[in-house]
Amino acid sequence: MFQIFAKNRMWRKQPLKHRYEVVIIGGGVHGLSTAYYLGKLGVTDVAVLDKGYLGGGASARTTAIIRSNYLTPEGIPFFNESVKLYEGLAKELNFNLLFNQMGRLDLGHTDSAVYGLRMRTEFNRILGVDSRLIGPKEIKKLVPSIDLREGKHFPILAALYHPPCGVIRHDAVVWGYGRGADRQGAELHPFTEVTGIDRTNGRVTGVETSQGLVKANTVISATAGWSSTIAKMVDLELPITTHALQAMVTEPLKPFLDKTISSANLHAYVYQTDRGEVVIGGGVDPYPSYSQRSTFQQMEELAANTLEMFPCLKNVNVLRQWAGLCDMTPDYAPILGPVDGIEGFILSCGWGSWGFKAAPVAGKRVAELIATGETPELIKPFSLSRFREGNLVNERAAAPAAAIH
């Protein structure tokens, strides 16, 4: 029993080798989950490189909402598989992830918004996702503290209720995947910045890092926020702009809210953590930026819009605020898979505001792609070539879809 006090390292510290089968750029939840699932498929000669510490970028700034009530026939099965993987993840990684499937309400304030929610509900149900449309009576029962008065600026007419939606301890997911990947033989190298990618005859041969040259057959770009910078190393331009998404947390309160509440019209989502703090998120700066700092304007808007839903929060203080980088694609869907003309270079980017919830499925399917050489059906619609072919996914149920365009 004294083992619980032993100072075991979560992952080993190893010298950087000169050659790996697979190099993953970015040691966040996506990079580490890819390394983990690669190990499960028998590919263990893997290095995960990150310029900072592991899970210190977007994985540390996410509001960690896991859901699958999307709108498109491409997006729903993809995110649904991710929710399923998250449900069994704590057991699989043998690490407590504090996954709390609290359920979620997407509010409709206008007739057209309710129409959209109804469409989403039906798409969800056809594709086997637990969603239903509920009226004010049931909303009141689920969330007694919500302001349901009629005749106000944004009256609450109906809501899409999605019971499997949950919130997870995001750092634990990163650490769990990191430990899992390490135990299967992958090497994790924090503070190793990739400065260039080498190619010969249209094939990736390795990466230049701040610790020296590393050869590799396959290079995966899993860097949220910096995808365009990495893609430029192989002379690739991506349909991505980087925006900062802002969030904040209030002081701890008594438990009053056990659902995630989101409103597309108000550009805000709210939930109460197990510690009692209220997490408020959703504001995306309308201009692209790599600056991870909040703006007063955005926080003011978030606070006002939250009060529209929960006037009871009016005297509550904000404790912390932050911003994280989101790689926004024109159709609010990720870019996954190989790139035509650059062999051995695999993209896992464009993760906008829907990245954390997709980490298990993206890691698993990208690992499958590398191990078998064939793109799995589930991620085929998300290839980079969809922009050339005109097959955009148009995932309008993503959080900032209403805010930016």
What is the binding site for another protein (CB under 8 A)? Answer: 226, 228-229, 237-242, 244, 286-291, 293-297, 323, 330, 387-388
Q: Per the structure block, which two tokens stand in for 42?
A: 């028998």
Which lies closer to another protein via its Cβ, residue 115 or residue 290?
A: 290
Nearest distance in Å: CB 71, another protein: 21
Question: What's the distance, CA 267 to chain centroid?
Answer: 18
Nearest distance in Å: CB 245, another protein: 13
Q: Per the structure block, which two tokens stand in for 249?
A: 């947390």
Cβ atoms of residues 184 and 17 within 8 Å? no
Nearest distance in Å: CB 237, another protein: 4
Query: What 8-state DSSP symbol labels residue 25?
Result: E
d(CA 394, CA 349): 16
Which lies closer to another protein via its Cβ, residue 110 or residue 291?
A: 291
Which lies closer to another protein via its Cβ, residue 237 or residue 377?
A: 237
Nearest distance in Å: CB 394, another protein: 13
Which lies closer to another protein via its Cβ, residue 80 or residue 329?
A: 329
Strands (E), 257-301: 260-263, 268-272, 278-284
Which lies closer to another protein via its Cβ, residue 74 or residue 368?
A: 74
Length of the chain: 405
Tokens 């509550």: give the residue: 316
Nearest distance in Å: CB 236, another protein: 9
Query: What 8-state DSSP symbol labels residue 84?
Result: H
Q: What Rg do the C-alpha atoms of the chain give, in angstroms?
A: 21
Strand partners, 326: 243
Widest pairwise Cα distance in the chain: 67
Which lies closer to another protein via its Cβ, residue 160 or residue 401?
A: 401
Nearest distance in Å: CB 33, another protein: 25
d(CA 207, CA 192): 11
